[in-house]
Structure 1
Amino acid sequence: MNQDWRGVVIRRLLLLIAGCLLVGLISGEYAWSLVVGLGAYLGWTLAQLLRLHNWLKHHQTDQPPPDGYGLWGEVFDSIYHLQRRDQRVRGRLQAVIDRVQESTAALRDAVVMLDSDGNLEWWNRAAETLLGLKTPQDSGQPVTNLVRHPRFKDYFELPAHPEPLELISPVNDRMHLQFHITQYGNGEHLMLVRDITRMHQLEQMRKDFIANVSHELRTPLTVISGYLETLLDNVDDVNPRWLRALQQMQQQGGRMQNLLNDLLLLAKLEATDYPSDNQPVSVDLLLLSIKGDAQALSNDRHRITLEADNSVRLKGSEAELRSAFSNLVFNAVKYTPDNGEIRVRWWADEHGAHLSVQDSGIGIDAKHLPRLTERFYRVDSSRASNTGGTGLGLAIVKHVLLRHRARLDISSVMGKGSTFTCHFAPAQVVRR
C-alpha cells in the first residue's frame, strides 16, 4: 500500500468514527454507535477477504480477480496487473520452449533429458527412431532399462564422460550409435545420440583394406626374404659388389615384415571389443619376463629396475598385455641414452591398477604428446629410422588398453625423460 492510500484509509476511519459519534450524540448511545459502526466496517473487510480467498482457491488460469472499490478495489486491481504480467512472461517462456522443442525435434540426432537418477524426462522424435523410446509409457523409466548393454551401464555410472561411447542400436543391429552424456544443473543428464553407421562402415572398409593388403603382401615378401636369405647363405658364390646391396635388401625386408606383423596385429585388435581369453594374468611375472628381454636388448647399457606388487593380477589377454607392456619398456630402452635409468612399477589403489614406465631419456616435446598414439606418427623420422621402429607401437598399446578398459597417460620433459602410465579400472583388477 502506498502513502496516498494509507492517508485515504485513515481519513475514512476518522469519518466513520465521526459518523458513529454523531449517531451516538443523537441517540445518546456513544458506545453502541461505535461498536455497530466498527463492527460493520470489520464485517465488510472480512467479506472482501473471503472473496479474495475464494478466488485464490477456485480461480482458473486466466480468470481475473473479483471487482471491488476503495482499498480492496486497489488490491484487486494490483493482483490483476500482476496476473497479466505473469501471463505475458509465461507466454514468452512457452514460446521459447516451443521453439527449442521444435528445433530439437527436427534434429537427426537424438536428444534425451534425464533426471539425477537417470530416469527419462523428455526426448525428441529422433530418440524414438534410434533408441526405440515410446511416448508416454517410457516417461520416468530408467534409461538403463531401455538401453540394455553392460558397457552403457558402466559408461552411464562414470562420474564424468569426457569420451563418447559407441554401441549397436537396441532397435537395429545394423545401426551403430555414438552416445555422449553431459551433466548439468543438480545432477541432471543430457544425452546426445548420433547415428554413425556410415562412419563405422567407412572405418570397417579401411580396416578390411589394411588387413587384406597386409595378408596379400605377406606372401611375396616371404618369398623375397627367403631368396635373399639363400643368397646371403651362399655369399661365396655371389659377386662381392652385390653383397652390400643384398644385406640392405634383407634389412629393409625385415623392417617391412615387422610392419606387416604390426598391421595384422592392429587389425586383429580392432576386430573385437574385448579379449576372448579373458583370464587373470600375473602381471608381476609378465613384467619380470619383459625385464629380462629388455636387459638383453639394452646389453647392460641401462639400469632397469622393476617394482611389482605380486598380489595384484589383471583380467585380460596375457599375449595382448605382453605386447603392450613390452612396447613401452622396449621404447624406453631404445630412446634412453647409455647409462640412463628405466623404472618399471606395477601397483594398485582404490582407483584401480597402474603400470608406469619411466625413463631418463631425451624426452618428447609437449606438442607431440596428443598425437603419439596415432599410426605412423613420427616425433623425429630420423630417430625412428635409426631405431628400426614401425611407428605402430604406441597405436598397438592404445588399442590393447582400450580392449582392457584402460587408458594411457603420457608426461615428458625435454632432456629429462618421459613417463608412460597405464590406468586400469577397478573392475579389471583381481586380488590374490
Structure 2
Amino acid sequence: MSRQISDKEITEILLSGALGLGVGYLAGHAVLGLCVVLIWLLYRQLQQLARLRHWLLDTEQDVPESEGAWDEVFRGIYYLRRNERRARDSLLSIIDRARASVSALEEAVALVDSDGNLEWWNPAAEALLGFRAVDRGQPVINLIRTPSFIRYFKHGPYDEGLKVSSQRHSGRQLQFEITQFGDNDRLMIVYDITRLHNLEQMRKDFVANVSHELRTPLTVLSGYLETLQDQHEGIEPRWLRALGQMAQQATRMNNLVNDLLLLSRLENQPEDREPHIVHVPRMLKQIHQDAVALATPKQQTVTLECEPGLCVLGMEADLRSAFSNLVTNAVKYTPNGGVVAVRWLADGQGAHFSVTDNGLGIDEVHLPRLTERFYRADAARSSATGGTGLGLAIVKHVLMQHKATLDIQSELGRGSRFTCSFMPTLIERET
C-alpha cells in the first residue's frame, strides 16, 4: 500500500512538472512554468502541515481527511495517540487501585521525597500521626519531633524498625519502618504495635516481679547458710557438706536473679534515650583489672589492646555490662593456663570490641542459638562455672539498643572469638 501510494505521488509530480514545462514552453518561458508548478506543490504540502499542526493542538478533532503519504501520517499518529491514551488510562487505573488499597490499610503509609519533605500519605497516617493537608511539602522531622525518630530518619540504618511512643495518642506504641527507593526517596510505614507492646510488657513485668520476689527469700536463705557455715563447730561433716552445696546453689540462684533483673532493666528502658560519649579505653582498663583478678587463680593471661581516644556514643552502664560479660565468660570457660585477648580497635567499617580465647571452643551447631535466654552449649560446663545462661542474651540486647552487631566465631579445640561491631556514625574520638 505504501509503495503504491508513493509511485502514484511520484507520477503526479512528474506529470505536473511536465505540464508546467509544456505550458511554459508554449508561452516561451519553460522554466517559469516549472517554477509555478513546484510552488503550487509546495503550497499543498504546507497546507497539509498546517492541518497536521491544527489537529495536534486540538485533541478532540477527528482525523483530517487526506490522501497519499499524508493520510498514512495522520492515521499513524492517530493510532499512536489512541494506544498512548489507552496505556495512560490503564496506568491511571492501576494507580487509583493502588492508592485505594493503600488508603484501606490500617497501617500509616507516607511518601517522603529526596529532600525529606512529606509528599503523600494515606488516611491512616492522619489518624496515627496527625498529618493534615497543610503539611504537604513540610519536612517530616518537623512533624514527628521524637529525637530517636529524627536520628533514625537521618542516619538509619533502615534494616530494622524503630519503636517509639506516640506523640499524638498517650499510651500508644508505634513502629516506624523506612525503605529507600528511587533518588533517595523514602517510603515510611508506621504500625500500631500497642497490643503487642502491652503483651511484651506483661511478660517483662512478670519476670521482673518474680525476680524481685525471689530476691528477699534468697537473701535470707543465703544469710542463714553463711551463719551456719561460720558456726560449724559441733556440726557433723555430712551436714557441713550439705550446707556447702546449699550455699553454692543459693549463690547460683542469686546470680540468676541478678541477671534477670539486669535483663529486665535493659528491656524496660525507653528506646529514645539520649546517648552520651562513652570513654571505652578507660572502661576497658577497669574491666581488664577485674578479669586479671579472676584469671590469676587459674594462671591465665589476659591481654588488652586498646586504641587510645576511641570512644562511642551510647549508654556506659549497659556497655559495661555487655563487655564485662564477654570478658568474664572467656575467663570462666578457658582452661587453666589459657590466654584471653581483649581488643578495641577501629577501621573503615566502624569500631570493634573483640574477646578471643584459646579454650575448648563451641560446636558450630550451637552458634546460632547462643544468644537465646538460658541456652547452653554445654550444660555441665555452665553448671560447673556458675553460669546462668543469660549473659549472651544481655550482650545481644545491649548491642541491639546501640544498633551494633555480635559476631561469634568458634572452633572445637581451638577457642572462640566474640566481636561487637559499632557503626562509624557512633564513633567519637577524644581530642
* Pair in the same fold by TM > 0.5: yes
- Cα distance in 1 between the residues matched to 2:368 and 2:194: 27
RMSD: 2.6
Aligned-partner SS, 1:157: helix
CA contact (8 A) 2:409 2:416 kept: yes
CA contact (8 A) 1:111 1:123 kept: yes
CA contact (8 A) 2:103 2:123 kept: yes
Aligned-partner SS, 1:161: coil
2:340 to 335, 339, 342: 342
Partner residue, 1:429 = 428
Instruction: Tell me the TM-score normalised to structure 1 length.
Output: 0.90
Aligned-partner SS, 1:69: coil
Amino acid at match of 1:332: A
Amino acid at match of 1:256: M
Query: Shift in Å at residue 255 of structure 1?
Result: 0.7
Query: Shift in Å at residue 283 of structure 1?
Result: 2.7
Change (3 A) 1:270 1:159: closer
CA contact (8 A) 1:275 1:317 kept: no
Alignment of 1:192 with 2:194, yes or no, is no
Partner residue, 2:265 = 268
Alignment of 1:73 with 2:71, yes or no, is yes
Change (3 A) 1:151 1:159: closer
Partner residue, 2:352 = 354
- Cα distance in 1 between the residues matched to 2:312 and 2:154: 22
Partner residue, 2:178 = 181
- Cα distance in 2 between the residues matched to 1:272 and 1:397: 15
Aligned-partner SS, 1:345: strand
Alignment of 1:308 with 2:306, yes or no, is yes
Paired residues for 1:102-141 under 5 Å:
102-135=100-133, 137-141=134-138
Aligned-partner SS, 2:155: coil
2:282 to 277, 281, 285: 285
Partner residue, 2:233 = 236
Change (3 A) 1:186 1:285: closer
Change (3 A) 1:92 1:280: closer
1:97 to 95, 98, 117: 95
Change (3 A) 1:234 1:277: farther
Partner residue, 2:224 = 227
C-alpha offsets along residues 270-320 of structure 1, whole Å, 9 cap, x if unaligned?
222369896654432322222222222222432211112332344555443
Paired residues for 1:281-430 under 5 Å:
281-298=278-295, 299-349=297-347, 352-404=350-402, 406-425=404-423, 426-427=425-426, 429-430=428-429
Paired residues for 1:197-212 under 5 Å:
197-212=194-209
Alignment gaps of 5+ in structure 1: none
Partner residue, 1:250 = 247
Range with bigger deviation, 369-378 or 388-397: 369-378
Query: Shift in Å at residue 262 of structure 1?
Result: 1.0
- Cα distance in 1 between the residues matched to 2:367 and 2:131: 41
Alignment gaps of 5+ in structure 2: none
CA contact (8 A) 1:352 1:429 kept: no
Query: Shift in Å at residue 64 of structure 1?
Result: 4.4
Partner residue, 2:37 = 37
- Cα distance in 2 between the residues matched to 1:157 and 1:334: 42
C-alpha offsets along residues 206-262 of structure 1, whole Å, 9 cap, x if unaligned?
111111111111111222222222222222333443332222221111111111111
Aligned-partner SS, 2:410: strand
Partner residue, 1:214 = 211
Alignment of 1:3 with 2:6, yes or no, is no
- Cα distance in 2 between the residues matched to 1:103 and 1:147: 25
Aligned-partner SS, 1:162: coil
Aligned-partner SS, 1:214: helix
Change (3 A) 1:221 1:118: same
Amino acid at match of 2:138: Q
Partner residue, 2:165 = 168
CA contact (8 A) 1:178 1:193 kept: yes
Query: Shift in Å at residue 121 of structure 1?
Result: 2.9
Paired residues for 1:13-52 under 5 Å:
13-52=13-52
Amino acid at match of 1:259: L
Amino acid at match of 2:206: F
Between the two proteins, the alignment pairs up a number of residues equal to 429
- Cα distance in 2 between the residues matched to 1:129 and 1:105: 12
Change (3 A) 1:99 1:365: farther
- Cα distance in 2 between the residues matched to 1:125 and 1:63: 41
- Cα distance in 1 between the residues matched to 2:12 and 2:90: 42
Aligned-partner SS, 1:421: strand
Query: Shift in Å at residue 327 of structure 1?
Result: 0.6
Aligned-partner SS, 1:260: helix
Partner residue, 1:143 = 140
2:154 to 147, 153, 157: 157
Range with bigger deviation, 422-431 or 183-192: 422-431
Amino acid at match of 1:36: V
Query: Shift in Å at residue 160 of structure 1?
Result: 4.4
CA contact (8 A) 1:273 1:403 kept: no
Query: Shift in Å at residue 329 of structure 1?
Result: 0.5
Change (3 A) 1:124 1:253: same
CA contact (8 A) 2:163 2:271 kept: no
C-alpha offsets along residues 25-63 of structure 1, whole Å, 9 cap, x if unaligned?
55443222222221111011112212222333x334x55
CA contact (8 A) 2:298 2:335 kept: no
Range with bigger deviation, 76-85 or 308-317: 308-317
- Cα distance in 1 between the residues matched to 2:146 and 2:273: 18
C-alpha offsets along residues 120-142 of structure 1, whole Å, 9 cap, x if unaligned?
3332222222222223x333333
Change (3 A) 1:221 1:283: same
CA contact (8 A) 1:405 1:428 kept: no
- Cα distance in 1 between the residues matched to 2:427 and 2:177: 23
Query: Percent sequence identity over matched residues?
Result: 53
